[in-house]
Amino acid sequence: MTRVIIVDDDLFVRTMLTQLLDRAAGIEVLASYANGAEAALAAAESKPDVALVDINMPEVDGPKATALLRAASPTTQVLALTSLADPSAAASMLQAGALGFLPKDLPLPALLHSIQAASHGVAVLAGGASGLIDKRPVAAVPELTQTERQVLELLAAGHTNEQIAEQLYVAVSTVKHQVSTLLTKLGATNRVTLAVRAHELGLAGPAGAS
């Protein structure tokens, strides 16, 4: 059972998402909150698997709410809820610790798939959300080892560290080290931006939900 909380200042959005997710098999909505600070305090106790956090909120905005949630419950994965095509806000969410993005108009099957993927630590760029990522100028392709390229390709395809390790017949610790090296070489901040960066440089296929 994937335990979810919803953080959005819009009562209608909170109500509709709660109703939709409560009907879905394998998902339990623990609570919904209009304020990110309140959600973080509750998450410290309830430890939800996934938090759906609106980017644009008064007082405590999405990035600040994300940082508070991740500090209060490091095991909680944050997915940004958005209806705004704002690359700078998207970048702020990633820097605060969000794992990916969900458009508010995402069809229910895709929404459920994305939540379950996030609960396993898989980066999510659902629907048209990949357009929120800032596109940087084309840079020289960094020199990568064969193993780094293999890890990058599998990561960009949405595989977890454990799945990558299994496919490459290496230890999970080795994959973690390779991912850390790739983050540095590609100037990325997390797995989402790493996948997007790899796509920009032509090092992997299109980034997306898995």
Q: Assess whether pLDDT exceeds 60 at residue 135.
A: no
Best-predicted range by mean pLDDT (47-51, 113-117, 119-123) = 47-51
How far, in Å, are 34, 77, 96, 126, 168 from residue 56 at the CA level?
12, 18, 14, 18, 41
pLDDT at position 79 is 92
Domains of the chain: 2-132 (3.40.50.2300), 146-200 (1.10.10.10)
pLDDT at 156: 81
pLDDT at position 95 over 90: no
In terms of DSSP bridges, do strands 27-33 and 2-7 run parallel, antiparallel, or are they unpaired? parallel
Question: What's the whole-number average pLDDT of the chain?
Answer: 83
DSSP letter assigned to residue 187: T
First-residue to last-residue Cα distance in the chain? 19
Q: Is the pLDDT of residue 170 over 90?
A: yes
SS3 180: helix
- Whole-number pLDDT of residue 4: 97
Q: Which residue bears the tokens 């790493």?
A: 194
Label residue 87 by pLDDT band (50, 70, 90): low
% of the chain at pLDDT higher than 70: 84
Q: What pLDDT band is residue 138 in, cutting at 50, 70 and 90?
A: very low
Q: ∠ at Cα 93 (88, 94), nearest 5°?
A: 100
Cα angle 31, 37, 40 (rounded to 5 degrees) comes to: 55
pLDDT at 37: 94
Helix (H, G, I), strand (E, B), or coil: what is residue 54? Answer: strand
Residue 143: its pLDDT value, please?
A: 87
pLDDT tens digit string along 13-72?
Answer: 899 899 989 888 899 999 999 999 999 999 999 999 999 999 888 889 999 999 999 999
Band of pLDDT at residue 78, cut at 50, 70 and 90: very high
At 128 the pLDDT is 47
Among residues 166, 156, 150, 162, the alpha carbon closest in space to that of 194 is found at 156
